[in-house]
């Protein structure tokens, strides 16, 4: 490690500004979420909390961690609804088993191998989401999904030296009275394209 190493979260690897921990960015994210109509308590909130928790596994007992991973997979694949996810979380918290680990508790024989295998490098962390989210309202298009894709595509072009990027976002359970499975948007951006075309 040289003198220029950037402080990073020991669990998810996110870059940390001086004096901040990952949970601070999580609170920033919840504050951003509160500005989005319909996000609180719904799928966006579930995805934000589930992703943050899965990227910070040491706070949970193994059963809770594996249960959350299964539920997130089920919701993403359409096998469970947000109501199912809530029911499962309540059932896990109501039982006699603990959900959260005590920070000072020594790791059990069951926890150690699970946490050792758990991913430590992620494509996106809560920090990345906090940086991209405020860009979204400044984009010109009035379609939220298109704005989101464009903001992410521009960020990827900038950060990864790419020549072109395609970003696709799908919105499960769209709030429109039509029998569709999902609504999706795909945005293609190339290097050098003006940002406000
Ligand atoms: Zn972190």
**What parts of the chain have a pLDDT lower than 50?**
1-2, 140-141, 174-176, 178, 180-181, 197
Using DSSP, state whether 178 is helix, strand or coil.
Answer: coil
Spatial separation of the C-alpha atoms in residues 163 and 190, rounded to whole Å: 6
Report CA(110)–ligand 1 centroid distance (Å): 23
Q: Give the Cα separation of 61 and 59 in Å (integer).
A: 7
Secondary structure class of 4 (helix, strand, coil): coil
Cβ neighbors of 101 (< 8 A, separation 6 or more) are 58, 59, 60, 61, 111
End-to-end CA distance of the chain: 43
Q: pLDDT tens-digit profile of 89-98?
A: 888 777 666 7
187: helix, strand or coil: strand
Ligand 1 centroid from CA 171, angstroms: 26
Indicate the domain borders of the chain.
Answer: 22-117, 139-190
pLDDT tens-digit readout, 49-64: 999 999 999 888 888 8
154 CA distance to ligand 1 centroid (A)?
Answer: 24
Determine the pLDDT at residue 69.
93
Three-class SS of residue 152? Answer: helix
Distance (Å) from CA 170 to ligand 1 centroid = 26
- Cβ 125 vs Cβ 14: under 8 Å: yes
pTM of structure = 0.67
Q: What is the length of the chain?
A: 197
Which residues, 6 or more positions from 59, have their beta carbon under 8 angstroms from its beta carbon?
Answer: 53, 100, 101, 103
Rounded Cα gap, residues 46 and 37, in angstroms: 15
Q: Which helix (H) or strand (E) holds 111?
A: helix 111-117
CA of 121 to the centre of ligand 1 (A): 10
Rg (Cα) of the chain, in Å, rounded?
A: 19
Query: Helices 62-76 & 43-54, crossing angle to 10 degrees?
Result: 140
pLDDT for position 197: 45
Beta bridge partners of 15: 8
């Amino acid at each position: 490690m040289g003198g220029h190493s950037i402080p990073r979260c020991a669990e998810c690897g996110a870059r940390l500004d001086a004096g901040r921990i990952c949970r601070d960015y999580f609170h920033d994210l919840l504050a951003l979420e509160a500005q989005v109509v319909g996000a609180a308590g719904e799928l966006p909130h579930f995805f934000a909390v589930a992703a943050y928790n899965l990227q910070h596994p040491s706070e949970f007992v193994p059963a809770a961690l594996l249960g959350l991973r299964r539920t997130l997979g089920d919701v993403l694949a359409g096998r469970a609804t947000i109501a199912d996810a809530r029911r499962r979380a309540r059932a896990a918290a109501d039982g006699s088993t603990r959900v959260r680990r005590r920070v000072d508790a020594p790791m059990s024989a069951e926890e150690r191998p699970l946490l050792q295998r758990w991913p430590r490098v992620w494509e996106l962390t809560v920090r990345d989401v906090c940086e991209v989210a405020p860009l979204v309202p400044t984009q010109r298009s009035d379609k939220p999904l298109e704005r989101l894709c464009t903001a992410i595509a521009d960020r990827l072009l900038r950060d990864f030296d790419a020549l072109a990027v395609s970003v696709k976002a799908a919105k499960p359970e769209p709030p429109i009275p039509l029998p569709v499975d999902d609504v999706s948007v795909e945005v293609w951006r190339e290097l050098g394209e003006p940002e406000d075309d």
